[in-house]
Amino acid sequence: MTSLIAYCRSGYESDTAKELAERTAQQNIYGYPIFRPNQGFVEFPFYEPPSETFISNEFDVKNTIFPRQLIWVIAVLSDLEPSDRISPILNEVTKHADKFGAVWVEYPDTDEGKGLAKFCRKFAVPLRQALRKENYLTKQEKLLYPVLHVFFTDFNTCKLAISYPHTRSPFELGVCRLKFPSSAPSRSTLKLEEAILTMLNDSERRLVFRAGARAVDLGACPGGWTYQLVTREMYVEAVDNGLIDEKLMATGQVAHFAADGFTYRPQHHKVDLLVCDMIEQPDRVAKLMGDWLVTGRSLHAIFNLKLPMKQRYETVSQALLSLKSRLVKLDDQFSVKARHLYHDRDEVTVTVVRQS
Ligand SMILES: C[S@@+](CC[C@H](N)C(=O)[O-])C[C@H]1O[C@@H](n2cnc3c(N)ncnc32)[C@H](O)[C@@H]1O
């Protein structure tokens, strides 16, 4: 395999390209990005094929920032006949030893790409049947097997690619869709929910979200993030000059403080979790988060870094680097992850979990 495709949010192709180039070069693997602005993905051909270990174990999308999904290209099919798109796909699949646990028929997450959504959904049904008949696909969906991606860029062109269980996003298109909880006060709630579900592993979730634990929410109003903490039975100090949702206050689990998030101190000196969604400069927020973690004012932190218009990858990398350089001097170990989540817009979400 000599080419990788990374799905990303439309408009974030150049940040994704820079990240792919930097991360692969760190492993002495070299290639170059190909993309058009706003196409929702980046192709990355390599000069030399990376090792199987790199592909299936080491290059994990969950450790990247901007890619939503990483898939490894095995063939590009163009001029497909509308009357039979399946035979050429089967032809290519025959050349590969893998048995697949699922086939995902996908398209770029762009306005143009969404025009392919209905076709992809329909096409997946006969394709799945044909792959099962030839024994290339497991009878039940098994995500511990490789997944075959059929990525359509128009009705007659698709790229066939493979993803692996340890390094892929478990979601089709790399998109974690969540239902908006009707009693949540703002759609922002989905950003924190997605972070909790996709960026933390089971033991981290149990460690951070304990019933009865205390949290501070900086820039809390109207209360979408506080809502996530309250539903997990935590007690929250919600800090913001704005208005907080009445229903949240009625739970008895929330205390509202109309104060500046940069100077606020927790009521009982320290908390289990600090969350922060203030619209502020990313370096200022990263410094503030570092201050709380280094002084032990909070054990863990989840926060958003709002992105500038340009140099977004560099800005996030710099903010993370300065945060990590402060944490590394402490006795405790920290797991730090940053992801451009589906529910994020011009921002990335960072989780910092102190390992016990
Ligand atoms: C994106 S909104 C937060 C939305 C919230 N997370 C939710 O889920 O409903 C940003 C909030 O940060 C607050 N904010 C901005 N600067 C602040 C500061 N220095 N101190 C406290 N709050 C601040 C704003 O008042 C605004 O309510």
Ligand 1 atom with the shortest distance to the CA of 188: 8
Tokens of 138: 């497991």
* Nearest-angstrom CA–CA distance, 233 and 27: 43
Residue 183 lies in a domain: no
Return d(Cα 257, Cα 216) in angstroms, integer.
10
Nearest CA to ligand 1 atom 12: 219
Count of Cβ atoms closer than 10 Å to residue 117 Cβ: 15
Domain of 263 in residue numbering reads as 189-355
**CATH number of the CATH domain containing 25:** 3.30.2300.20
Which residues make Cβ contacts (< 8 Å) with residue 243, sequence separation at least 6? 221, 222
Q: How far is Cα of residue 166 from the mean position of the Cα atoms in its chain?
A: 15
- Give the residues of the chain that fall short of pLDDT 50: none
- Asked whether residue 184 is assigned to any structural domain, the reply reads no
Q: Report the interhelical angle of 117-133 vs 86-94 (nearest 10°).
A: 50
Candidates 127, 89, 303; CA nearest to 215 is 303
Asked if 277 and 160 sit in the same domain, the reply is no
Q: Give the CATH number for residue 212.
A: 3.40.50.150
- Count of structural domains within the chain: 2
Q: Which of 319, 245, 314, 251 is nearest to 280 (CA)?
A: 319
Q: Establish whether 306 is a catalytic residue.
A: yes
125 and 211 belong to one structural domain:
no
Residue 1 has a pLDDT of: 60
The predicted structure's pLDDT at residue 297: 98
Binding site per annotation, positions for S-adenosyl-L-methionine: 188, 221-224, 240, 260, 277
Among residues 174, 208, 232, the one where a domain terminates is 174
Distance CA 320, CA 324 (A): 6
Indicate whether 228 and 310 sit together in one domain: yes
